Amino acid sequence: MTDKKFKNILITMFIIFLAAIPLLYFLSDPRDQSVKKVENEFGISLPKSVKRERELYKEPSFHGDGEAAILFSFDKKDLGKIKEELEDYEITDENRKSQIETCYLQVKKRGFDPSLDLNNKIYFKATSEYVFAGMYGNFVALILDEDKGEILFLEWDT
């Protein structure tokens, strides 16, 4: 291969590389990792208007026990899409509600008070197969406040 041909190939590759950078940026999802975490936990797709407001991380522990919380805001026009995505996880079971309330109270005790009412729509997913006396060991839950346009993600790990 001649030097001129090699030089043309390198220039062409460089131009393709430079063109690919903005293309990949526009195709990427720039939302916060916590939004993607909720999508992965529930296997759903949330609208682009969902934004993280505050987050409470799990406290380090030998057992990994603890609770975490993430407060999201969303555009109220996306409410129907969010409810549709979560309809398979909606609960009415009082046992599960009491577990979510326990987690919510622990989160509040640690200083994270989202001021959400537990009478809102609640969605639940067990993250382990361990159930003892009807109580789930590990779970994730979403509390959807339609009036405020907020979603509270709770994670309980025992």
| pLDDT digit string, tens, across residues 17-38 | 998 888 888 887 777 888 988 9
Nearest to 70 by CA among 146, 147, 142: 142
Higher pLDDT, 135 or 118: 118
* Entry pTM: 0.78
The tokens describing 99, both together, are 């577990």
- Report the percent of the chain where pLDDT is more than 90: 34
61 alpha carbon, distance to own chain's centre: 22
Q: How many Cβ atoms are within 10 Å of 82's Cβ, its own excluded? A: 25
Residues near 135 by beta carbon (within 8 Å), at least 6 away in sequence: 95, 99
Q: What is the pLDDT of residue 150?
A: 93
Interval 48-104: pLDDT, tens:
889 999 988 877 666 556 788 999 999 999 999 999 999 999 988 888 888 889 888
Q: How many Cβ atoms are within 10 Å of 151's Cβ, its own excluded? A: 27
Residues near 39 by beta carbon (within 8 Å), at least 6 away in sequence: 45, 46
Nearest to 102 by CA among 136, 150, 71, 144: 136
Q: What is the pLDDT of residue 81?
A: 93
Res. 131 pLDDT band, cuts 50 70 90: low
